[in-house]
């Protein structure tokens, strides 16, 4: 419990640094303490994730880059998560072989 309390922001940062205005171009300046916590700087790519009425911001990872690259193709071929899951289940042995050089996976 003590660790959680120490990791919280000082009240002055909560009051003065948690708000930002949106410009006429829809831009927002990410507060310095957030940039430092995420270790992001000019030119870095970030990911916005909507969760209800909240937005999570995090650094972009290699997985995010891969998803952005193949995501549109996957959505075109497999419009629903259920269709993708069915394909993966039906073809898991072949896919395993392509990845690991064997024609069978161990179940």
| Span of 9-18, 56-65, 73-82 with lowest mean pLDDT | 9-18
Tell me the C-alpha distance between 89 and 76, whole Å: 19
pLDDT exceeds 70 at position 9:
no
Question: Mean pLDDT of all residues in the chain?
Answer: 81
3-class secondary structure, 8: coil
* Secondary structure letter of residue 70 according to DSSP: H
Instruction: Walk me through the domains of the chain, giving residue ranges and CATH numbers.
Output: 2-60 (2.10.260.10), 63-100 (no CATH)
Task: Please indicate whether residue 18 or residue 58 has the higher confidence score (pLDDT).
Answer: 58
Q: pLDDT per residue over 28-48, tens digit each?
A: 999 888 899 899 999 999 999
CB contact burial 63-100 (16+ within 10 A = b; e otherwise): eeeeeeeeeeeeeeeeeeeeeeeeeeeeeeeeeeeeee
Q: Tell me: the pLDDT tens digits for 55-64? A: 999 999 888 8
Tell me the C-alpha distance between 53 and 60, whole Å.
Answer: 21
């Amino acid at each position: 419990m003590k660790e959680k309390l120490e990791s919280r922001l000082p009240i002055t940062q909560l009051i003065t640094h948690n708000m930002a205005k949106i410009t006429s171009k829809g831009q927002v300046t990410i507060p310095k303490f957030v940039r430092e916590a995420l270790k992001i700087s000019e030119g870095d790519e970030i990911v916005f994730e909507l969760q209800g009425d909240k937005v999570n911001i995090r650094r972009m990872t290699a997985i995010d880059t891969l998803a952005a690259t193949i995501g549109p193709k996957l959505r075109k071929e497999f419009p629903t998560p259920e269709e993708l899951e069915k394909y993966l289940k039906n073809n898991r042995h072949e896919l395993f072989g392509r990845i690991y050089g064997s024609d069978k996976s161990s179940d």
